[in-house]
Amino acid sequence: MKAVRISGYNVAPVLGEIPRPAAAAGEVLVRVVAAALNPLDVKLQLGYMEQFFPLQFPYTLGTDLAGEIEEIGPDVQGWAIGDKIVARTDPTAGGAFAEYVVVPSNYLAKAPATIPLEDAAGIGTAAGTAWQALFESAALTSGQSVLIHAGAGGVGSFAIQFARNVGARVFATASGDGVDIARQLGADKVIDYQASDFARGVSDVDVVLDTIGGDMQRQSYKVLRVGGHLLATALPPDEALARAHNVEAGFVFHSSNGERLRRVVELIGERGMKVLLDRKTPLSNFTEAFAHQASGRARGKIIIIFD
C-alpha cells in the first residue's frame, strides 16, 4: 500500500510502498478515504515533540483520518465491516497518511452524516483540542465570554462554533480574509490583529484560547478578568505573568480520547457545524500540502484525499 513516511527527525517525508497491516485483538483495519494535516505533524517531523512523543523509524505520518472499516480483529464489538468512521491515532503510532491503517476500536467514532466523509477527517485533533480547552480545562458556560486567537485556523474555527453553541459571547482575532471567515463562523466581534491592537478592543473576558504564543499570548493576560483562564495550545504559558495578573493559565496537551472524539463528532453532526477547509489535495501532492501546513498560513484544515 502507499504511505507517507519519514526515516528520521528533520528528514523530508517520502511517499512509497509498504506492507498492508492486519488488525490484531481490539483493533480494526480502516481503508483511509482522507486524512488531515495538523501543526503536530510538522512538529513531529522536525523532532520538536521527541520528549513527549518519541518516534520509531521509519514512521508513517498522520493522526487524523476518515474512512471505512475493512477488517475487524478479535474482541471488537459494536462495529461492522463497511462502517464509515472518524479516528485519531496516538501520535507515537501515526499511520493516517497510508491507504490502510490499524486503529484501536475504542478510538473510533461514527462519521457524521451531515458532512462529506472526506471533510470529517479534519475533526479529530482540531475539534478535540478546542473542546478540551474550552470545556474540560476552562469549563466555559453560557453567558461567559471568550477570546479565541486565530479564529480562522483549525482549532480556532471549531472553538468559535463550540463556544457559540453553549451561549458564550465570542471574540476572535484573525487577519486578511480570516476576519470574514471568523465572523461567518459565529464570532460576535472579530479583530484584525494586523491592523489594530486586540488588547484595546477586548476586556474582562472569562477565557482566552491562545493558539499562537509569543507576544499574542503575553498581551492576552491584559484582557482577562481576575480569576479568568488562559489556555495555550502552541507554547506553555508564563506562570509568573499569570500570577501577576491574578489569572489561571494552562497548557492544553491534547491526547487521543475516543469518548471525547465521539462527543465532538456527534455534536458537529447534530448542529450542522462546519469543518473549515483550506484545501483538499490528492496524496500525490503531499509534499506541497505539507509545506503549506508548515508555513502556518493555512485557513482551516488541509485534507489529503486517497483514491
Q: For residue 228, what is the domain's CATH number?
A: 3.90.180.10
- On whether both 137 and 247 belong to a single domain, the answer is yes
Phi-psi region of 227 (alpha: psi -120 to 50; beta: other; left: phi over 0): left
- On whether both 67 and 34 belong to a single domain, the answer is yes
- Residues 21 and 1: their CA atoms lie apart, in Å, by 9
- On whether both 56 and 95 belong to a single domain, the answer is yes
Q: Within 10 A of 211 (CB to CB), how many other CB atoms are there?
A: 27
Q: What is the CA radius of gyration of the chain?
A: 19
Please indicate, yes or no, if residue 257 is contained in any of the structural domains: no
- Cα 54 to chain centroid, rounded: 20
- On whether both 111 and 130 belong to a single domain, the answer is no
- On whether both 182 and 103 belong to a single domain, the answer is no
Q: Within 10 A of 75 (CB to CB), how many other CB atoms are there?
A: 10
- On whether both 203 and 238 belong to a single domain, the answer is yes
- On whether both 214 and 102 belong to a single domain, the answer is no
- Residues 70 and 80: their CA atoms lie apart, in Å, by 9
- On whether both 14 and 42 belong to a single domain, the answer is yes
- On whether both 107 and 138 belong to a single domain, the answer is no
- On whether both 64 and 101 belong to a single domain, the answer is yes
Over the chain (307 residues), the average pLDDT of each successive run of 10 is: 98 98 98 97 96 96 98 97 98 98 98 97 98 98 98 97 98 96 97 93 96 94 97 93 96 93 97 97 98 95 95
Please indicate, yes or no, if residue 95 is contained in any of the structural domains: yes
Contact 219, 207 (CB under 8 A): no
Please indicate, yes or no, if residue 263 is contained in any of the structural domains: no
Please indicate, yes or no, if residue 42 is contained in any of the structural domains: yes
Q: Within 10 A of 175 (CB to CB), how many other CB atoms are there?
A: 16
Query: How is residue 304 written as a grid cell?
Result: 489529503
What's the pLDDT score for residue 50?
Answer: 95
- On whether both 157 and 109 belong to a single domain, the answer is no
Write down the residue that cell numbers 497491516 correspond to. 21
Tell me how many domains the chain contains: 2
- Residues 109 and 87: their CA atoms lie apart, in Å, by 6
Q: How many CA atoms lie within 13 A of 109 on its CB side?
A: 30
- Residues 22 and 86: their CA atoms lie apart, in Å, by 19
- On whether both 102 and 133 belong to a single domain, the answer is no
Residue 204 amino acid letter: D
Please indicate, yes or no, if residue 299 is contained in any of the structural domains: yes
Q: What is the pTM of this model?
A: 0.96
Please indicate, yes or no, if residue 169 is contained in any of the structural domains: yes
- Residues 305 and 17: their CA atoms lie apart, in Å, by 17
- Cα 212 to chain centroid, rounded: 14
What's the pLDDT score for residue 307?
Answer: 79
Please indicate, yes or no, if residue 260 is contained in any of the structural domains: no
**Residue 265: strand, helix, or coil:** helix
**Residue 184: strand, helix, or coil:** helix
- Residues 257 and 88: their CA atoms lie apart, in Å, by 8
- CA trace torsion 155, 104, 12, 99 (10° rounding): -100
Please indicate, yes or no, if residue 282 is contained in any of the structural domains: yes
What's the pLDDT score for residue 239?
Answer: 92
Domain of 235? Answer: 126-251
Closest CA to 191 of 151, 233, 221: 151
